[in-house]
């Protein structure tokens, strides 16, 4: 394995509801190497999303460390975290989460608005990203004019347009039919093998997980086999 | 760069029903505001137009209006021939002792109203070159004749040339009609001052309007008359006097402003409601934007701006709705003479800008809290919402 891009050490996450404590993650340690394609698997409620959110810098651990590309994400303040996110992570949601009133092009352009790129440069990047996901001909379409599979591919284009090293996806095929799911998984695979993106994908579907190079199983907030595949 | 404006504009368009409903509330408020201010401005402009800076008005000391001023005939004679006062080609001093009385006349469309009758000296018209006879001829002193303004002729019965009406002890015949557009004279009837005094049993004049030979003479005359304790008069440029009278617009302005503020509170609450609904409906979008790297501040600004855009739509509609009244003639009660003053609504670019600013204020007030709520949503909660 190359140098680890994600280093997780004794990471725990507790949720407290009055007197009741829910342990979402229990002292997890895990390394993810550069260029890996990891499938995070496990039954519902096992803590997959929680772990993914912490890696992506949109949630904080209760204890332990999560170092991504040399930055301890758990130590960043909110504004720094937002800045860090836009640079290092592309996030793909189960529900696509495209902005309904913006076209495919404008949706993909959104993260670039936070960079110093000129309009011309942004256009080039957006077109390249949409080309990569095979939707160059749908740039002017609104989300509701696209199929679910196409929406998710636009969302993937949006996640990778800033050229992040880490692509994280939470059940990216959960809302898709088998055909579209296969397309999206194939795309993630290509991005991983051809473009060298590190991909962390949460899924509970073994067929989806089969596209990954490595599988990590979670159960009740703990890693099975200590994170080995 | 922040969240693009088109995001807000398109959201406003997508929920066009609520956008229009809210914008109409703001539009109504802005329209009322602009109209009332246009009314006040029109009224003020009419007063300001009336006064001629070259003329001086002499009133009794302590008087703030012609209608409450009294000057004895003998006192007039004591300063009428002062050297500072200009003379006309016949060698008469350009000074017009005047008196104002209120009479009631029947309106053409039923009911009656107070009308101001101004008794003027023979020189009275020379002092007011803007007033022009447009029909008939000037009244002849001693024959109970009068001239009426175009507006009075149009609105009151028995006021056309040749017709007669009763007022005081006399029956007055209309000899002519004059045009005094955009001045308060447009709401008056003029006749001879001494006949008015006789018909209405007044031993005094009300005021004297005069023209000094030049500005310096005017200043000297003011001093000369005002230091004379015996005369007991106040002398000021006619333009100053009418500028003072613009306070007549005060009550309208106050009531209009009050109404606009009450309405704006309602409109701002409506905008707030709409924006709360928008924030609620777009919670997951907010979460997504945050994950993409937009900060709380960006979200806050975006929703605040959306509220302002909404208000601008309303403001624009309100301004458009108010435009047709520009130049429209109307009348109001003057609080100093208790007669009707005719004037025109006056909408200026500056007033429209004020209307738009007013709309923006409503938009900001309506948007502040919803935008705050939007910005403070925790990212994960926002993402989970459906
Ligand atoms: N905001 C929260 N408050 C309380 N409990 C939570 C919260 N988020 C997640 N949990 C709990 O943490 C555990 C892990 O959740 P999650 O990571 O979403 O699981 P998965 O994605 O594997 O289905 C679950 O038991 C869930 O109920
Ligand atoms: Mg989950």
Q: What residues have CB less than 8 Å from B123, skipping those under 6 apart?
A: B88, B92, B93, B94, B95, B96
Interchain pair B295, A82: CB under 8 A: yes
Does residue B268 sit in the same domain as residue B361? Answer: yes
**DSSP state at residue B324:** G
| Pairing, β B207-210 against β B56-60 | antiparallel
Predicted local distance difference test score (pLDDT) of residue A225:
75
What is the residue whose two structure tokens read 């308060």?
Answer: B184
**Does residue B380 sit at the A interface (CB-CB below 8 Å)?**
yes
Suggest the residue from B1, B3, B292 to mutate for an interface test with chain A (most A CBs closer than 10 A): B292
Does residue B317 sit in the same domain as residue B348? Answer: yes
Does residue B91 sit in the same domain as residue B222? Answer: yes
ipTM: 0.94
- Classify residue A55 as exposed, middle or buried by CB count within 10 Å of its CB (0-12, 13-18, 19+): buried
In this predicted model, what pLDDT tens digit does every residue of A163-173 receive, in sequence order? 998 999 999 99
Please indicate, yes or no, if residue A10 is contained in any of the structural domains: no
| Pairing, β A89-92 against β A166-170 | parallel
Look at ligand 1, atom 27, and give the residue with the nearest C-alpha. A45
What's the CA gap between A173 and B109, in Å, rounded? 79
Does residue B80 sit in the same domain as residue B27? Answer: no
Secondary structure (DSSP) of A29-98: EEEEETT-EEEEE-STTSSHHHHHHHHTTSS--SEEEEEETTEEGGG--HHHHHHHHHHHEEEE-TT---
Return the ∠ at Cα A61 (arms to A57 and A67), rounded to 5°.
55
Does residue B225 sit in the same domain as residue B272? Answer: no
What is the residue whose two structure tokens read 């998984």?
Answer: A185
Q: At what angle do helices B349-376 and B16-50 cross, to 10 degrees?
A: 150
Contacts of B290 in chain A (CB under 8 A): 58, 82
CATH number for A93: 3.40.50.300
Interchain pair B293, A82: CB under 8 A: yes
Q: What residues have CB less than 8 Å from A206, skipping those under 6 apart?
A: A41
Please indicate, yes or no, if residue B219 is contained in any of the structural domains: yes
What's the CA gap between B1 and A87, in Å, rounded? 15
Q: What's this model's pTM, rounded to 2 decimal places?
A: 0.84
Q: Which two tokens stand for residue A212?
A: 């990954």
Please tell me the total count of domains within chain B. Answer: 2
Domain boundary among B231, B264, B279: B231
Alpha carbon distances (Å) from A170 to A54, A109, A158, A174: 12, 21, 15, 9
- Ligand 1: atom nearest CA of A47 is 17
Contacts of B303 in chain A (CB under 8 A): none
* Lowest pLDDT segment from A215-229, B178-192, B371-385: A215-229
Q: Which residues surround the ion ligand 2 when the cut-off is CB under 5 Å?
A: A 49
Interchain pair A113, B10: CB under 8 A: no
Does residue B81 sit in the same domain as residue B210? Answer: yes
Please indicate, yes or no, if residue B83 is contained in any of the structural domains: yes
Please indicate, yes or no, if residue A29 is contained in any of the structural domains: no
In this predicted model, what pLDDT tens digit does every residue of B207-233 receive, in sequence order? 999 999 999 999 999 999 999 999 999
Q: Does the beta carbon of A22 sit less than 6 angstroms from any atom of ligand 1?
A: yes
**Does residue B285 sit at the A interface (CB-CB below 8 Å)?**
yes
Interchain pair B294, A82: CB under 8 A: yes
Burial of B272-296, coded b for 16+ CB within 10 Å and e otherwise, reads bebbbebbeebbbbbbbbbbbbbbb
Domain residues for the domain of A128 are: 34-60+77-227
In this predicted model, what pLDDT tens digit does every residue of A120-175 receive, in sequence order? 999 999 999 999 999 999 999 999 999 999 999 999 999 999 999 899 999 999 99
Q: Does the beta carbon of A48 sit less than 6 angstroms from any atom of ligand 1?
A: yes
Domain residues for the domain of B359 are: 5-48+248-384
What's the CA gap between B86 and B12, in Å, rounded? 67
What is the residue whose two structure tokens read 């992040």?
Answer: A164
Does residue B177 sit in the same domain as residue B37? Answer: no
Please indicate, yes or no, if residue B239 is contained in any of the structural domains: no
For residue A229, pLDDT over 60 is answered with: no
Contacts of A110 in chain B (CB under 8 A): 289, 292
Q: Residue A227 — very low, low, confident or very high, per pLDDT cuts 50/70/90?
A: low
For residue A1, pLDDT over 60 is answered with: no
* Lowest pLDDT segment from B122-126, B207-211, B368-372: B122-126
Q: B 10-29 residues with CB below 8 A of A?
A: 10-11, 13-14
Q: Does the beta carbon of A50 sit less than 6 angstroms from any atom of ligand 1?
A: yes
For residue B335, pLDDT over 80 is answered with: no
Q: Which two tokens stand for residue A66?
A: 């999560």
Please tell me the total count of domains within chain A. Answer: 1
For residue B267, pLDDT over 90 is answered with: yes
In this predicted model, what pLDDT tens digit does every residue of A77-121 receive, in sequence order? 888 888 888 889 999 999 999 999 999 999 999 999 999 999 999
Does residue B221 sit in the same domain as residue B329? Answer: no
Interchain pair B1, A113: CB under 8 A: yes
In this predicted model, what pLDDT tens digit does every residue of A49-63 receive, in sequence order? 999 999 999 999 999
Q: Which of A58, A101, A114 is opposite residue B380, by nearest beta carbon?
A: A58
Please indicate, yes or no, if residue B238 is contained in any of the structural domains: no
Please indicate, yes or no, if residue A9 is contained in any of the structural domains: no
Number of H helices, E strands in chain B: 12, 14
């Amino acid at each position: 394995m190359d140098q680890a891009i994600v280093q997780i050490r004794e990471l725990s996450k507790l949720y407290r509801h009055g007197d009741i404590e829910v342990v979402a993650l229990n002292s997890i340690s895990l390394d993810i190497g550069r260029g890996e394609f990891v499938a995070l698997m496990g039954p519902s409620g096992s803590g997959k999303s929680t772990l993914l959110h912490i890696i992506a810098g949109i949630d904080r651990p209760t204890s332990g460390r999560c170092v991504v590309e040399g930055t301890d994400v758990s130590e960043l303040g909110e504004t720094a975290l937002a800045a860090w996110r836009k640079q290092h992570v592309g996030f793909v949601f189960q529900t696509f989460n495209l902005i309904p009133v913006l076209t495919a092009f404008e949706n993909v352009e959104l993260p670039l608005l936070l960079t110093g790129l000129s309009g011309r440069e942004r256009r080039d990047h957006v077109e390249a990203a949409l080309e990569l996901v095979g939707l160059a001909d749908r740039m002017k379409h609104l989300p509701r004019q696209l199929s679910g599979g196409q929406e998710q591919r636009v969302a993937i284009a949006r996640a990778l347009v800033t050229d992040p090293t880490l692509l994280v996806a939470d059940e990216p095929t959960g809302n898709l039919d088998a055909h579209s799911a296969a397309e999206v998984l194939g795309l993630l695979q290509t991005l991983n093998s051809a473009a060298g993106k590190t991909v962390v994908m949460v899924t509970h579907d073994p067929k989806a997980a089969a596209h990954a190079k490595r599988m990590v199983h979670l159960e009740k907030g703990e890693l099975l086999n200590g994170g080995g595949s | 760069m922040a969240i693009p404006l088109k995001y807000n504009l398109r959201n406003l368009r997508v929920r066009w029903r609520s956008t229009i409903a809210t914008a109409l509330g703001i539009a109504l408020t802005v329209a009322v505001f602009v109209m009332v201010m246009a009314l006040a401005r029109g009224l003020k402009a009419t007063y300001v137009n009336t006064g001629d800076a070259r003329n001086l008005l002499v009133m009794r000391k302590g008087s703030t209006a012609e209608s409450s001023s009294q000057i004895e005939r003998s006192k007039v004679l004591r300063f009428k021939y002062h050297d500072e006062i200009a003379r006309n080609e016949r060698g008469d001093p350009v000074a017009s002792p005047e008196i104002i009385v209120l009479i009631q006349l029947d309106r053409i469309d039923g009911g009656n109203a107070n009308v101001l009758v101004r008794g003027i000296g023979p020189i009275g018209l020379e002092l007011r070159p803007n007033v022009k006879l447009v029909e008939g001829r000037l009244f002849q002193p001693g024959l109970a004749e009068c001239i009426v303004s175009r507006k009075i002729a149009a609105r009151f019965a028995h006021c056309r040339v040749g017709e007669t009406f009763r007022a005081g002890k006399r029956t007055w015949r209309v000899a002519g009609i004059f045009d005094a557009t955009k001045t308060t004279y447009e709401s008056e009837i003029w006749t001879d001052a001494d006949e008015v005094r006789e018909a209405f049993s007044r031993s005094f004049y009300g005021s004297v309007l005069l023209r000094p030979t030049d500005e310096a003479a005017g200043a000297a005359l003011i001093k000369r008359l005002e230091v004379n304790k015996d005369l007991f008069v106040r002398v000021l440029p006619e333009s100053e006097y009418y500028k003072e009278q613009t306070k007549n617009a005060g009550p309208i302005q106050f009531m209009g402003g009050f109404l606009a503020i009450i309405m704006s509170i309602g409109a701002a609450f409506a905008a707030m409601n709409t924006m709360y609904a928008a924030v609620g409906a777009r919670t997951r979008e907010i979460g997504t934007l945050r994950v993409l790297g937009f900060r709380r501040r960006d979200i806050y600004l975006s929703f605040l701006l959306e509220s302002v855009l909404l208000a601008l739509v309303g403001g624009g509609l309100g301004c458009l709705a108010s435009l047709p009244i520009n130049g429209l003639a109307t009348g109001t009660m003057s609080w100093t003479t208790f007669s009707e003053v005719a004037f025109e609504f006056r909408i200026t670019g500056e007033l429209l800008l004020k209307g738009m600013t007013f709309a923006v204020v409503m938009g900001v007030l309506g948007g502040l809290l919803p935008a705050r709520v939007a910005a403070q949503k925790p990212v994960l909660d926002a993402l989970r919402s459906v």
